[in-house]
Amino acid sequence: MEAQEIRYRVNKKVFRQASLYAMFLRNRNTFRVGIAVVLAVAFYTVLAVQGTFPLSYLPIYIAAAYLVWMLLLLGREEQRVLRYLKSDESLLGTEYVLRFDAGKLSVEIPEKKLRNTVAFAKLASAIEISSVFMLCLSADQLYLVPTAAMTDEQRTALRGLLSSRLGERFYSSILAREKKK
C-alpha cells in the first residue's frame, strides 16, 4: 500500500463530539438503566393516570433523580471540554499531520515539534464514529482525526487497515450500520 498523508486541524465541534462519545462509553450501562427507568416510569404513570394502578410518586421521584443525574454527567463533561478549550495546553486549531501505510501510523504536530509513530499491531485501539476517527496510540495518547479532512479513498483505506490490523480493538459505527443492513 502506498503511504497516505492527511493534514488537518481539530476544531471544537469534533472535540466535543469525541468527548461526549467517550463519556457515553464510560457510563453506558448506567445510562441504559437510567433510560429504562425513565421509560418504565413514564409507562407506569400513563397507566396510573388512566386508573389501572394507584398512583405512587416514589417511582416518579426515582425517574426524576435519574434524569437530574444524567444531566449532571453531561454538564460535568461540558465543563471539562470548556476547561480544555481555555487551557494553554489545548491543541485545538493546531495543524496535525497523519501518515499511514501498511505497517505503521505516524502523527505529527509540527507547531509543537511532537511526533509519535506506532506500528498498527501496537496501536491500543481505534474508534470511528460518523465525523471522527479516535486513535488511541497508548493509554494516555489519543488523537482525533476528523473525517472531513479525508478523501473517501483515505477514509476507506484507514478503516480497512484498522479493521484488519486491530481486529476487536477497532470499532466503526459505519461498518456496524453496514452489517445490520
How remote is the C-alpha of 60 from its chain's centroid? 31
- Measured CA to CA, the distance from residue 123 to residue 142 in angstroms comes to 10
Query: pLDDT 10s digit of each residue in the chain, 181 long?
Result: 678 899 999 999 999 999 999 899 889 998 999 999 999 999 999 999 999 889 999 999 999 999 999 999 999 999 999 999 999 888 888 999 999 887 888 999 999 898 988 888 888 899 999 889 999 988 788 899 999 999 999 898 888 888 888 889 999 988 888 887 7
How remote is the C-alpha of 171 from its chain's centroid? 11
- Looking up cell 426515582, which residue turns up? 62
What pLDDT, on the 0 to 100 scale, is given for residue 1?
Answer: 64
- Measured CA to CA, the distance from residue 10 to residue 148 in angstroms comes to 10
Q: Cβ atoms within 10 A of the Cβ of 5, count? A: 12
What pLDDT, on the 0 to 100 scale, is given for residue 108?
Answer: 92
Q: Cβ atoms within 10 A of the Cβ of 123, count? A: 20
Handedness of CA 127, 133, 138, 143 (dihedral sign): negative
Q: Cβ atoms within 10 A of the Cβ of 134, count? A: 19
Radius of gyration of the chain (CA): 21
What pLDDT, on the 0 to 100 scale, is given for residue 28?
Answer: 92
CA 79 → CA 19, 21, 73, 82, 86, distances in Å?
11, 15, 10, 5, 11
DSSP assignments along 132-181, one per residue: EEEEEEETTEEEEEEGGGS-HHHHHHHHHHHHHHHGGGEEEHHHHHHHH-
What pLDDT, on the 0 to 100 scale, is given for residue 86?
Answer: 92
